[in-house]
Amino acid sequence: MSDTPIFSTPDRLSRQSEKELAKLDLSFEFFPPKTDKMEARFWETLERLAPLSPRFVSVTYGAGGTTRGRTTKMVSRIEKESGVKAAAHLTCVGATKEEVNEVVRGYKDAGVSRIVALRGDPPEGVGQPFQPHPEGYRNAADLVAGIRTIGNFDISVACYPEKHPQSPDWYAEFENLKRKIDAGASRAITQMFFDNELYLRFVDRARNAGIEAPIVAGIQPIHNFTQISNFAGRCGATIPKWVAERFEGLEDDPETHALVAAAVAAEQVTELVDRGVTEFHFYTMNRSPLVYALARLLGRRPENSRG
């Protein structure tokens, strides 16, 4: 043991001990695995992250319902086998109301009580105009209202700190978010963002627009800069120049890439905690190390390691 005195720096919230820190809510997003090998990684990641007491673990729904069976299978297994609450993502693109309702009833029968309700994107991609199915839900707000008629689900919806690429203006953006909350959603989870000011400004604007529901910060650790920047570009999230510069030239240096990714994400989440943010949703890409370390920075320890 060293004799170095331990002193606290109460000026930064992120440096306070877990007991002093406001209670943080964490959730972890997974995608349904396609192969046996990917499925093994899914369960390993879940096993590692589940003891961190997430509010829930969510499983995405492939574009146009392509993973419907796999999403249902994974969420019901998570509930049964890990004891962690699972949330199933659900989209309404390209399906009739009855087809979507059947999936919702399936979740209900499997004991899944949480849904992340989304419109989804046209099969041609996010840049293409959205055409609702003639007998389908028209948008996410309509879907939330439909889910509510089937059961008392805890519903989350999506929101966009940089505006949805199809929103004509901020007024339309917040009117749409308000409709989703008024239809029965309990919270909104943001699209990934890499500049905290965008998120903080978005929350301010939402409050000014009369939206009081929690706006959970969606955090995308940069596991692979090339992949994430392509994906971010497609969904209208910008990567600041300073972030891009930190990853420049690291394509063939995975070790440094991983260290830089950890540093960038750590800076992002600790700054958000310092600014009073208490709810985080991590896009895990079915990998645990980075998210596990970030949860630790936020004061989270595995349940069984506490005395």
Task: Indicate which residues carry an active-site annotation.
Answer: 29
For the purposes of burial, counting CB atoms within 10 Å of the CB of 224, is it exposed (0-12), middle (13-18) or buried (19 or more)? middle
**DSSP, res 63:** G
**Cβ atoms of 216 and 27 closer than 8 Å:** yes
Question: 91 or 286: whose CB is closer to ligand FAD?
Answer: 91
What's the full length of the chain, in residues?
307
Q: How far is the CB of 92 from ligand FAD (least distance, A)?
A: 8
Q: How far is the CB of 44 from ligand FAD (least distance, A)?
A: 22
Query: In sequence order, which residues have a C-beta less than 8 Å from that of residue 267 and are 6 or more positions away?
Result: none
Work out the number of other CB atoms within 10 angstroms of the CB of residue 3: 4
The secondary structure of residue 281, as a DSSP letter, is E
Ramachandran bin of 33, using left for φ above 0, alpha for ψ from -120 to 50, beta for the remaining angles: beta
The residue among 100 and 260 lying less far from ligand FAD, judged by its C-beta, is: 100
Tell me the C-alpha distance between 169 and 297, whole Å: 36
- Cβ-based nearer residue to ligand FAD, 219 or 260: 219
In terms of CB distance, is 177 or 290 closer to ligand FAD? 177
CB of 147 to ligand FAD, least distance (A): 12
Q: Which residues in this chain contact ligand FAD in the complex, by CB under 6 A? A: 60-61, 63, 89, 91, 116, 118-121, 126, 139-140, 158, 164, 166-167, 172-173, 176, 180, 189, 191, 218
Could you tell me the smallest distance in angstroms from the CB atom of residue 255 to ligand FAD?
Answer: 30
